[in-house]
């Protein structure tokens, strides 16, 4: 039904993913990616969906996809535990100089008759650490990951404060009214926001001035939420103690107070497996059945496929939209066997189970073209029941 090919054939750099197409054409029906940027040139009329295995969708032009009638899917929450655990590991690393101690142990040699443990203990004064217990954790972005981190750190004895644009009724977090209040009070500030027009460059020189000089900033949201040049400058002026980022930039390399990771947040066997399974299921269900789950721009609609064919409609929600569709279906004497629809953020998605088995190919084309031309219609699809016939 769908071939899977790699995107390399498009010769678009900075992109690596799989595409799905129904015929031997360079224009894909669907694109599957992790964090790779989806080039806008791929959002052609033919493109039915973009599937992002993972959470952040800042590498996809969702607005352009929506206007094109292309569904965008992601797998929110599946890597939240992986990110939470990596952040906790890094909180400990900020206070306990484990890397140095392990390195020292690799180098340490004792002579005949000397005791290695004794020699090691003589060196441990260089590796005295501090404890997380009783310290204040500030979380910017109290979503799925932020809440899990808050619960775990609260149970380790930390005070947890946070900022989110909407109020969240959370048991273990004192939610503050401004980012600045969090920055002033926290010993650790963890960024867990999405990258949007509102959050790009949100943390810069002015914000760093308000931080404690002993505080650490950990960015597991997205690199561009933080002004990297301002980070380097603030650290050079001892405005805060250290920066940990999951999003490497050359300007941050080699600074003694900066720790860079190669975007490891969701990089566990569990998260990757779970995410890949979920996104593939959602992708195939949409391509073959028109079912929508976990889409960020299409409303959720899941109707059992009990007919020979079904029509799916994605449109700008407006008064009388359905009257216009129904008039055309009636003029073709099409039975509406079952139907389900939903709206979200001004867009509607409707599935109609029907039977076109007696309608000629030419009339089907004419029907689809008339439905396509309805004012506000963004995408019409005709699907054959995969368990009852061949793909058309
Ligand atoms: N490092 C990694 O590997 C990794 C893994 C997963 C997610 N992430 C990043 O973390 C982000 C958060 O993930 P999540 O699963 O918790 O998402 P989420 O959608 O559950 O949480 C995001 C939270 O941020 C809040 N928010 C959005 N814009 C805001 C603004 N301008 N000001 C204040 N609050 C705002 C939302 O209300 C929400 O509560 C993702 O968007 C992604 O960029 C990184
Ligand atoms: O948004 C996400 O899910 C994370 O940043 C993980 O991205 P990745 O799929 O490239 O690991």
Please give the pLDDT value at position 167.
Answer: 96
Give the separation between CA 338 and CA 105, rounded to whole angstroms.
70
CA dist 312 → 20, 50, 336, 373 (Å)? 19, 17, 12, 14
Please give the pLDDT value at position 28.
Answer: 85
Closest ligand 2 atom number to CA of residue 263: 11
Among 24-28, 189-193, 260-264, 361-365, where is mean pLDDT lowest?
24-28
Q: Which CATH architecture has domain 1-74+268-297?
A: 3-Layer(aba) Sandwich (3.40)
Closest ligand 1 atom number to CA of residue 86: 1
**Cα of 300 to ligand 2 centre, how many Å?**
23
Give pLDDT tens digits for 71-80: 999 999 999 9
**Cα of 121 to ligand 1 centre, how many Å?**
43
Q: Which two tokens stand for residue 265?
A: 């947040």
Taking residue 66's Cβ as centre, other Cβ atoms within 10 Å add up to 22
Give pLDDT tens digits for 157-179: 999 999 999 999 999 999 999 99
Task: Work out whether the CA dihedral 326, 328, 329, 330 comes out positive or negative.
Answer: positive
Arithmetic mean of pLDDT over the chain = 92
Ligand 2: which residue has its CA nearest to atom 5? Answer: 56
Q: Is the ipTM of this complex over 0.90?
A: yes
CB-side exposure of 336: number of CA atoms within 13 Å? 14
Q: With residue 383 as reference, give the H or E element that holds it.
A: strand 377-384
Rounded mean pLDDT, 12-24: 43
Q: Any bridge partners for residue 138, and if so which?
A: 161, 189
pTM of the full structure: 0.92
Q: Select from 284, 221, 279 the least CA-distant residue to 54.
A: 279
Same fold, 1-74+268-297 and 79-260: yes
Give the separation between CA 309 and CA 364, rounded to whole angstroms.
12
Out of 3.40.50.720, 3.60.9.10, 3.40.50.2300, 3.30.710.10, the CATH code matching 79-260 is: 3.40.50.720
Please give the pLDDT value at position 16.
Answer: 40
User: Which of 72, 76, 89, 193 has most ligand 1 atoms within 8 Å of CB, for mutation?
Assistant: 193
Q: Which CATH architecture has domain 299-391?
A: 2-Layer Sandwich (3.30)
Please give the pLDDT value at position 387.
Answer: 85
Give the separation between CA 10 and CA 332, rounded to whole angstroms.
40
Give pLDDT tens digits for 268-325: 999 999 998 899 899 999 999 999 998 999 999 999 999 999 999 999 999 999 999 9
């Amino acid at each position: 039904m769908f071939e899977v090919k790699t995107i390399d054939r498009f010769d678009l750099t900075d992109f690596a993913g799989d595409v799905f197409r129904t015929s031997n054409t360079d224009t894909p029906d669907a694109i599957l990616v992790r964090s790779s940027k989806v080039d806008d040139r791929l959002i052609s009329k033919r493109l039915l969906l973009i599937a992002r295995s993972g959470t952040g969708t800042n590498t996809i032009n969702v607005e352009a996809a929506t206007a094109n009638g292309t569904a965008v899917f992601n797998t929110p929450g599946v890597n939240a535990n992986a990110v939470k655990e990596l952040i906790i590991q890094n909180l400990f690393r900020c206070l306990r100089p484990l890397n140095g101690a392990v390195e020292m142990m690799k180098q340490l040699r004792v002579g005949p008759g000397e005791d290695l443990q004794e020699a090691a203990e003589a060196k441990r004064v260089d590796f005295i650490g501090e404890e997380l217990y009783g310290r204040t954790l500030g979380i910017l972005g109290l979503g799925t990951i932020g809440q899990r981190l808050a619960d775990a750190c609260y149970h380790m004895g930390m005070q947890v404060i946070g900022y989110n644009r909407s109020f969240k009724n959370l048991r273990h977090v004192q939610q503050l009214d401004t980012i600045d209040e969090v920055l002033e009070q926290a010993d650790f500030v963890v960024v867990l926001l999405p990258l949007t027009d509102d959050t790009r460059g949100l943390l810069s020189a002015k914000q760093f001035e308000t931080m404690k000089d002993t505080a650490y900033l950990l960015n597991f949201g997205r690199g561009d939420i933080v002004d990297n040049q301002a980070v380097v400058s603030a650290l050079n002026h001892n405005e805060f103690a250290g920066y940990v980022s999951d999003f490497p930039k050359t300007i941050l390399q080699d600074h003694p107070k900066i720790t860079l990771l190669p975007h490891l947040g969701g990089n566990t066997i569990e998260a990757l497996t779970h995410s890949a399974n979920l996104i593939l299921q959602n992708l195939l269900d949409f391509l073959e059945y028109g079912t929508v789950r976990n889409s960020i721009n299409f409303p959720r609609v899941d109707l059992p496929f009990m007919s020979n064919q079904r029509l799916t409609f994605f449109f700008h929600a407006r008064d009388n939209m359905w009257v216009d569709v129904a008039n055309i279906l009636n003029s073709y004497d099409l039975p509406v066997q079952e139907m389900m629809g939903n709206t979200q953020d001004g867009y509607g998605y409707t599935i109609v189970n029907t039977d076109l088995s007696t309608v000629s190919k030419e009339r089907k084309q004419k029907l689809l073209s008339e439905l396509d031309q309805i004012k506000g219609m963004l995408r019409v699809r005709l699907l054959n029941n995969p368990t009852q016939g061949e793909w058309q």
